[in-house]
Structure 1
Amino acid sequence: MKPRLRPHAWAARVMLAAAFVAALAGCGARNPHFDPARAHHTPEGFRNPNDVANPGFAAFLRWKWDRLWQAMAPDNPGRVPVTALDPSALHKPESGWRVSWIGHATVLLQIDGLNLITDPVFSPRPAPLSGTGAERLVPLPLRLDDLPPIDAVLISHNHYDHLDEPTLRALFGRGGGRTRFLVPLGVERWFAEQGIGPVTALDWWRGATIARNGDAVDIDLVPAQHWSRRTLADTNRTLWGGYVVRGGGVSAYFAGDTGYGPHFGEIGRRYGGFDLAMIPVGCHEPRWFMGKQHVNPAEAARAHLDLGARYTLGIHWGTFRHCDEPADQPLDDLPPALARSGIPPDRFELWAIGERRRLAGNGFRR
């Protein structure tokens, strides 16, 4: 007997067909930042290091079709540790580095008197349309209004689980002009459309300095192996990347979203290693589709070594279910991956959502 489509399957197929038509319609767009001397620039947009291509639209259709018929392993959000962040501690002036994982790719970096936040997402369901997209599986460890004043927001790319309009509007509204938004090339156009700023757009290996009351950090955008899309017709029209943050004699690397590649080694060599790396460990299945755009735990372990990281925090897990594996899967997969790579378990850890630690020696302590 021929299997029947699930009730939502027809809607999914219509949506995907519309995406295909819209993508064709957008083929004539030009890249206003195009520099022929920059290998990752194209006249239409941007491409990966070494021109690594992600799976195309046909592969995306195949993945979505497979998911309609496959039984997905359930998430176990009860396994994901969550602890409430104390707002009073976040607002207390302290010297040195303090790091708080808020969930997914959202990390609060407090460096002497400066407050930075990466890919802030506080929405329950970040998506282009209300009621669509992956739901937040665990509670937030604090309210957005409980954050300290933010000096800089670091955006890695324009996917909805990293560029969240309601969160960014709220940060802009409460910033009073203090908050600066750092974005990859092209993403500044979205910010201009929303009336959010000030914005600094960066190319790979380019940077900016954030300073206030005598404290300063240098922030560089660095390569990542990924892609971008905000609408149905703007694939790879804007750049993507990770960040290097240096301040107070400490250096940190934030990967954003990335597949595994030689860029990790190049970044490590250029910056001489890192006191802290923040590397994704979730949303990596199925490998035939996700392999070039998202590292798995084994590749994250290799990246830790390539970067010369003295300590790594695993991010991009436990919060949303965007891929085929359960959101809590890194709890099982990371320990054996570290053992196979010879990495001590106290040098690459998974924190509780809401956990806050300070830099001490070669690691981060509670």
Structure 2
Amino acid sequence: MKSFGKRPEGERLERMKASPRWAGEGFRNVHPVLPGLRDPSQKVAISEFLCGGVRRVPKGPLPSLNPLDTWLRAPSTGLRATWLGHSTVLVEIDGLRVLTDPVWGLRASPSTLAGPKRFQPVPVALRELPPLDAVIVSHDHYDHLDYPTIREMARMDVPFVTSLGVGAHLEAFGVRPSLITELDWWESWRSPKAELSITAAPSQHFSGRGLKDRNSTLWSSMVIHTPRHKVFFSGDTGLTTEYEVIRERLGPFDLVMLEVGAFHPSWGDIHLGPENALKALQLLGGGAFLPVHWGTFSLALHAWDQPVQTLFEQAPRQGVQLVLPQLGEAVEPSTVDRVTPWWRGVDTMEGPGLPEDEAKKPLPKAMPFPVD
């Protein structure tokens, strides 16, 4: 039950109610849904989510590297990113380290027995991470805010930067209140120890960890900036013209991390998918593009590698600098000149994959749907 977190109350709730995003009972998306983003005629039933789709899970393990030795050396360009799975990325920026949406747990679920199970372990153990200067939690969904991960990270004495209301969950999971900063859109946290800022920006999504707390906390994209570099992290979002405003107010960006997986035609207003991610990148003004939110959990009906394969085919035609590292591969975006389709051999490899009965397990009743 502890994994459900805690609902905001008291002064925290009053601050949330003062937000322009508050709509009486919860937060809301304030920018209109673009035409054609959502196809209500293709709704997904729970039974289809559990048993539908093809190739939703890789047959073998994805290639994975241990980044510990690389992390001992400073990046020559001052900016390096290590994709650790799903939306978890260690960003090294001008001598500082920021971790996005840390999830080391086995499942994106309130239950340890049911719900979407990760394809394979994170390339590096949580206890082996180098010292961090900040941790970002974009919103409170289970594949972005993971109870066992936060419980362990609460011992690390690191600042957490998150969206309005999410601090109630973090406190319930053991993080000291003095280490938590909750932001409304366009608000910033500044490190007291270094020239590092993190600014919350618009996204188009929803929140909730149970059946009765939908939109009770805010969701955000986040911009990490130092005097030399800027990095955009989408969190979860649908395509929105607010990205033009983000570009004008916070851009340009050296690295753009956009979600590309767990998409479906009926969820087009709350998830990008690869094609809309390319449109979002254009609205943001470009920059090296590192796709996230794929290759770790089966959260939609599409094939596990469809998002990245689509990007691999379409991005070069649009002149996009694509950055597609393997799990645990630390890359400096400005030095990447080509992409190797390393994922193509995964389904021909020998490996355990997931048990055949995994998809037959029901989702926990307290989990909202879509699950992300």
Class of the TM-score when normalised by the shorter of the 2 chains: 0.7 to 0.9
Asked whether the 8 Å contact 2:205–2:238 carries over to 1, the reply is yes
Mapped to 2, the partners of 1:72 and 1:350 lie a distance apart of 25
Residue pairs, 1:125-140, within 5 angstroms: 125-140=107-122
Aligned match for 1:343, one of 310, 318, 321: 318
Q: Which string of whole-angstrom CA distances, capped at 9 and with x for unpartnered residues, describes residues 40-63 of structure 1? A: 22222211132659xxxxx89962
Asked whether the 8 Å contact 1:31–1:45 carries over to 2, the reply is no
Mapped to 2, the partners of 1:45 and 1:188 lie a distance apart of 16
Amino acid at match of 2:15: H
User: Number of aligned pairs?
Assistant: 323
Mapped to 1, the partners of 2:307 and 2:94 lie a distance apart of 32
Residue pairs, 1:300-319, within 5 angstroms: 300-319=277-296
Residue pairs, 1:178-189, within 5 angstroms: 179-189=158-168
Task: Name the SS for the 1:253 alignment partner.
Answer: strand
Task: Name the SS for the 2:196 alignment partner.
Answer: strand
Q: Identical aligned pairs, as a percentage?
A: 33
Mapped to 2, the partners of 1:311 and 1:65 lie a distance apart of 36
Asked whether the 8 Å contact 2:137–2:163 carries over to 1, the reply is yes
Report the Cα offset of residue 338 of structure 1.
2.4
Mapped to 2, the partners of 1:325 and 1:84 lie a distance apart of 26
Is 1:292 the counterpart of 2:269? The answer is yes
Report the Cα offset of residue 246 of structure 1.
0.7
Asked whether the 8 Å contact 2:138–2:235 carries over to 1, the reply is yes
Question: Which residue of the partner structure matches residue 126 of structure 2?
Answer: 144
Mapped to 2, the partners of 1:236 and 1:250 lie a distance apart of 32
Report the Cα offset of residue 185 of structure 1.
0.4
Mapped to 2, the partners of 1:195 and 1:69 lie a distance apart of 33
Is 1:158 the counterpart of 2:158? The answer is no
Pair 1:268–1:224, CA change in 2 (3 A): same
Amino acid at match of 1:109: V
Question: Which residue of the partner structure matches residue 199 of structure 1?
Answer: 180
Question: Which residue of the partner structure matches residue 99 of structure 1?
Answer: 81
Q: Which string of whole-angstrom CA distances, capped at 9 and with x for unpartnered residues, describes residues 175-220 of structure 1? A: 1x2x0011100111112222313100100000011243xx321110
Question: Which residue of the partner structure matches residue 169 of structure 1?
Answer: 151
Mapped to 2, the partners of 1:43 and 1:267 lie a distance apart of 26
Q: Which moved more, 1:81-90 or 1:249-258?
A: 81-90
The higher-RCO structure (CA 8 Å, 6+ apart) is 2
Question: Which residue of the partner structure matches residue 41 of structure 1?
Answer: 22
| Bigger Cα Rg | 1
Question: Which residue of the partner structure matches residue 266 of structure 1?
Answer: 245
Amino acid at match of 1:343: Q
Question: Which residue of the partner structure matches residue 358 of structure 1?
Answer: 332
Pair 1:336–1:80, CA change in 2 (3 A): farther
Asked whether the 8 Å contact 1:40–1:51 carries over to 2, the reply is no
Q: Which string of whole-angstrom CA distances, capped at 9 and with x for unpartnered residues, describes residues 229-264 of structure 1? A: 022211001000110111141111000000011111
Mapped to 2, the partners of 1:31 and 1:60 lie a distance apart of 37
Report the Cα offset of residue 97 of structure 1.
1.5
Gap runs ≥5 in structure 1 = 1-25, 54-58
Is 1:116 the counterpart of 2:98? The answer is yes
Pair 1:332–1:89, CA change in 2 (3 A): closer
Question: Which residue of the partner structure matches residue 5 of structure 1?
Answer: none
Pair 1:217–1:79, CA change in 2 (3 A): farther
Q: TM-score by structure 1 length?
A: 0.80
Asked whether the 8 Å contact 1:155–1:181 carries over to 2, the reply is yes
Report the Cα offset of residue 365 of structure 1.
10
Is 1:327 the counterpart of 2:335? The answer is no
Is 1:82 the counterpart of 2:100? The answer is no
Mapped to 2, the partners of 1:180 and 1:221 lie a distance apart of 15
